[in-house]
Structure 1
Amino acid sequence: MTKYKLEYIWLDGYKPVANLRGKTQIKEFDSFPSLEELPLWGFDGSSTEQAEGSSSDCVLKPVAVYPDPARKNGVLVMCEVMMPDGVTPHPSNTRAEIMDDEGAWFGFEQEYFFYEDGRPLGFPEQGYPAPQGPYYTGVGYKNVGSIAREIVEEHLDQCLEAGINHEGINAEVAKGQWEFQIFGKGSKKAADQIWIARYLLLRICEKYGIDIEWHCKPLGDTDWNGSGMHCNFSTKYMREVGGKAYFEKLMAQFEKNLQDHIDVYGPDNHMRLTGKHETAPWNKFSYGVADRGASIRVPHSFVNNGYKGYLEDRRPNSQGDPYAIASQVLKTVSEVENEMSAAA
């Protein structure tokens, strides 16, 4: 028997953006535990905006498990928050009732800023660094510094060791801004892995004295890019059937559902989706081939392949909830695909 360090990870009840929480318990197992072997575990919801102090019990239900690369015999346990009965999802539990489909594939491009002493990493104490231009995919100390590169490389390694389907990293347009990409098959699987990747990045940064700023426009109304979490998506129908008529119906449905998408794509998106800095205005839907300023960017490969493949929704922002984002995308796509299938 081996003692394993189980890090139970969940989302608290803070609004408009939930925070990651985590606590550790030690359990003995013959080998690395399966999801089915992991017990429910209670916590004090009054300290996480999830219960009143007079009735503070909440329950953590394990839903995904990964090796913890930073701990000997460590286990990362993604959890849903349940009511005291351990069966009823808590109102803050956005994962429990989202649309899910293993045939729906999602790739999230998570952008963020490193912050030190209350400002983006590499910014001077007063004013701004040189304008944007050399930082995107930049190399060299004057462009990316030294600490950031060390952190993102360590984060990449830890994600891969944990079994997260991490697909790449790059420095982004603004100084101190970076991106990582996660791919998953199924809404819940893709979103679970984004949350675990966020957790690992936050934990790594603790030892460097660096904070992560997830806000979509931390520098406000300035000539500096905000942060998105572009959502690349496809379904089995989109990959295998597609067609121009399908695509046109799909874009019309995205336009019709514009407000439903904006409502779950992350708070303060009006600050980021201004029509500047490679974004479409938040209140206008558009699409275009290879158009970085469109709401949905259509790859050349999609058109060249008979309107089959994947699409990129560029509107979700860096602090959005990937559960809600993936679910809303899948809901809109399913509305069209169900109609097309019924008419066939």
Structure 2
Amino acid sequence: MSQSDYTLVLPAFTIGANAYDAIGQVTKPFGKKVVIIGGKTALSKAEKLLLDAIKNTDLEVLGVLWYGDDATYERVDALMAEDAVKNADLIFGVGGGRAIDTCKVVADKVGKPYFAFPTVASNCAPSTAIAVMYNEDKSFAGYYYLPTPPVHTFINMDIIADSPFDLFWAGIGDAMSKECESELASRAADIFHTILLGRALGKVCTEPLLEYGEKALADFKEKKVTYELQQVVLDIIISTGLVSNCTTGHNGVYYYNSSIAHLFYNSSTVLPQVVEGHLHGEIVSFGVLVLLTYDKQFELRDRIAAFYKKAGYPVKLADLDIKADEIDAIVEKAPAITEWNCVPSPLTKEAFKQAIVDTDAFGSAL
């Protein structure tokens, strides 16, 4: 693979209770007219703080828009038609992963700098150069690759600590996939500088979740911003995002960002009760056990499963409302998913199904 000419842009971020105070300095080179786009709940939490911070800058807010109800290309087109978007110099995206991803695609299509303001710590969308897109029926539509991540990510810890507990809980489940997926996906790859960097960064993703996760969850329930909570938030939003940016080549030139854990998630979207009744990171967390079972990393699987049992993550199919006779539907969908090929040797339907069955048996016996 020729890698003589390429650009790698890694995430920049500000974190803390006063993170929004840095807006003026960070955005100064990019223009003065801004449009704010976000989810309804996210805007109810962040809009006043954001507008108050903007008052101390040279920025002019042209509008505050609802992003929609999902990350779809229909919503992207609708937002691009808004005058505030057309006339803005900068785009601020506020909310969770789907709002952030929608805004990333809008910003890329209109060619304007984009700044992320996550209001939940549920995934690494605020710091990655990839957007996960869905169809209007909620099924997985595919990935949209961007040349760069958001210019800057502003993480207000007070807002994060006041977000729904289940989204943070699911965020830990999603982040748990990053190290094992990126390592498995790139294991047989040509190892050049950027992939080596991504693999090295991946090694800092799992251990903090196992070390601090239980206390961070307890602190979150009490809305206490502690060292442990901030370490886990940084893991979910930034550490995993750094890995993503190193392991995803622009326009999919190479893709070692995810593997069997997300293969399980993306394939399971064919089952309505799964996508309607369970969160992304919750489903991915079970996919981590499937990956580790497939890869015979039983010691790590057992450690993670022990944490899962304490913290209420799924360890068997029934925890996700999946029946044994529905496994085949997941397996049939899998070869059409990007992650089907993100393994060191060719995956087969039989091997994928066996990993799911064996994981279910393991989890049911705990």
Q: Compute the TM-score of the two structures, normalised by the length of structure 1.
A: 0.31
**Greater Cα radius of gyration, structure 1 or 2:** 1
Question: Greater helix percent: which structure?
Answer: 2
Question: Greater strand percent: which structure?
Answer: 1
Q: Compute the TM-score of the two structures, normalised by the length of structure 2.
A: 0.30
